[in-house]
Copies of this chain bind each other. A is one copy, B any other.
Amino acid sequence: MQIVLANNYGFCFGVKRAINLAEANPNSLTLGPLIHNYKEINRLSKNYYVNVSDDINSLDFNKPVIIRTHGIPKDDLKLLQDKNANIIDATCPFVTKPQLICEDMSKNGYQIIIFGDKEHPEVKGVISYCVNTPIVILSVEELYDKNLSNKIALVSQTTRKISEYKKIVSYLIEKAKELRVFNTICNATFENQESAKKLSQEVDIMLIIGGKNSSNTKQLLTICKENCADSYLIEDEYDLDSNWLIGKNRCGITAGASTPDWIIDNVIKKLQTLKG
């Protein structure tokens, strides 16, 4: 049986970078869990003594502090700096960018509009870089009752859909004399979905590796099932059932955005045993 990996799957660039930084800085603390995968958090704790701390005010400042991919509010960063903390900044560069844009644009007199969820840590961080209070919206309709300026700068949370972003832009063109649109959307999630869709059309069994409660992973399962009836969601190699493989020639593999490569490797190794 042939095993085929999707062109894009699993961790995005920013998460891979954060894990590398954690491994390169053993015995450090992360402000909140580094990613939403407890097996990976446990591995970092066990192998690298990298542990999670949820409260910035009771941190052990003798240890390096890792900032998560989502970034943190500017005031929190200042607090760490004031305490002379050894800061390991794992903020995804795709998140640092809207932070810097909002700081620069708001200082230059642009009204800032952020397309995103104001309760999400990434957006909270971005908001904190605006020198004036920005408008934060999840849909174009939320703009209807807002007082808008002639000069607007627009950024998006990295995981938002471009189709919705376009609706917001279309509305704002008529309201502002100048609209600066920054495309801060990261396509990693959508690339994973597109690759899973394509691969599921070319195989006779499809394995989706990821948390059973992860909405991201469940979305991948739904997409794959549309093309390949024999699509299965597994958390790791122990969920594999050899009966699934009987009479199959090509097995496709994809993984959710919070699934580490080592779990995927374990699945592949187990698959090779089963087919042998």
Q: Which residues of A contact B (CB under 8 A)?
A: 162, 165-166, 169-170, 173-174, 176-183
27 contacts between A and B (CB under 8 A): A162-B173, A162-B174, A165-B173, A166-B170, A166-B173, A169-B169, A169-B170, A169-B173, A169-B181, A170-B170, A173-B181, A173-B183, A174-B183, A176-B183, A177-B182, A177-B183, A178-B180, A178-B181, A178-B182, A178-B183, A179-B180, A179-B181, A179-B182, A179-B183, A180-B180, A180-B181, A181-B181
**In the bound complex, how far is the Cα of B176 from the Cα of A178, in angstroms?**
16
- As for how many copies of this chain the complex holds, the number is 2
- Chain B proximity of A9: nearest CB distance (Å): 23
Measured in the bound complex, the distance between the Cα atoms of B177 and A181 in whole Å is: 8
Q: How far is the CB of A42 from chain B (nearest CB, A)?
A: 38
Of all chain B residues, which has the CB nearest A187?
Answer: B174
* A169-B169, A179-B183, A181-B181 given; 17 more Cβ-contact pairs under 8 Å: A162-B173, A162-B174, A165-B173, A166-B173, A169-B170, A169-B173, A170-B170, A174-B183, A176-B183, A177-B183, A178-B180, A178-B181, A178-B182, A178-B183, A179-B181, A179-B182, A180-B181
B contact residues around A182 at 8 Å (CB):
177-179
Residues of B within 8 A of A179 (CB): 180-183
Instruction: Give bound CA distance, A174 to B169, whole Å.
Output: 12
A51 to chain B, nearest CB (A): 37
Top 3 nearest A-B pairs (CB, nearest first) are: A179-B181, A166-B170, A180-B180
Residues in B with CB closer than 8 Å to A180 are: 178-181
A266 to B173, CA, bound (A): 40
Residues of B within 8 A of A162 (CB): 173-174
For A165, what are the chain B residues with a Cβ–Cβ distance below 8 Å?
A: 173
* Cα separation A176 to B165 with both chains bound (whole Å): 14
Q: Which residues of B contact A166 (CB under 8 A)?
A: 170, 173
CA distance A179 to B172 in the complex (A): 13
Within the complex, what minimum Cβ distance (angstroms) separates A151 from chain B? 10
A178: chain B residues at CB < 8 Å are 180-183
CB distance from A105 to the nearest CB of B (A): 11
> What separation, in Å, do the CA atoms of A42 and B170 have in the docked complex?
44
How many angstroms from the CA of A162 to the CA of B176 in the assembled complex?
13
Distance between Cα atoms of A174 and B187 in the complex (Å): 11
